[in-house]
Amino acid sequence: MSSPYRFVRSFRPLLLALLVHIIFFGLFGLSFQLQPELAEAQVVIAIESQIVNEIEIQKEATRKLEKEQERQEKINHQTRQKEIEKADEQRKSDLAKRQEAQREIVEREAEEKKKREAEEKKKREAGAKQKREAEAKKKREAEEKKKREAEEKKKREAEAKKKRE
């Protein structure tokens, strides 16, 4: 006489085994799902740290580039300042040279004018001297002529007197 529970009794170990297998496979599948997440998390952390490192490297490179550009701009500015100062000095030097040359020209012209005036004065004085000498010579000649004429007149008068006497 078989009882209806007998059939259930034979299924009980089977159900338990099936239940253990389902739980085992469930846990095993869960561990497979969790493991990639852990691996992915480690990969993500590694990738994030690598990205952070690359960002830091890029920031450092950018900072170095900016520093180099700033240094280059400073050098260029100093170079331009030196060129401006040099051009200013050159302009001042050229101005001083032109002024010196102009001053020398004015001095030379003044000297030439003085020389010319001195020569003209000398010529005028020489001309005046010649004129005075010529007038003095004329005067002497006129006086000598007068004297001769007076002497001749005296001689004639003396001769005339002698003849009359």
pLDDT digits 0-9 by tens, 120-129: 999 999 888 8
The Cα-based distances of 32 to 117, 121, 149 in angstroms read 124, 130, 170
Q: Rounded to the nearest 5 degrees, what angle is found at the Cα of 88, between the Cα atoms of 84 and 91?
A: 140
Structure tokens at 151: 């002497």
Mean of the per-residue pLDDT values of the chain: 85
- Domain map of the chain by residue range? 11-163
DSSP H helical ranges for the chain: 4-164
Mean pLDDT of 6-29: 80
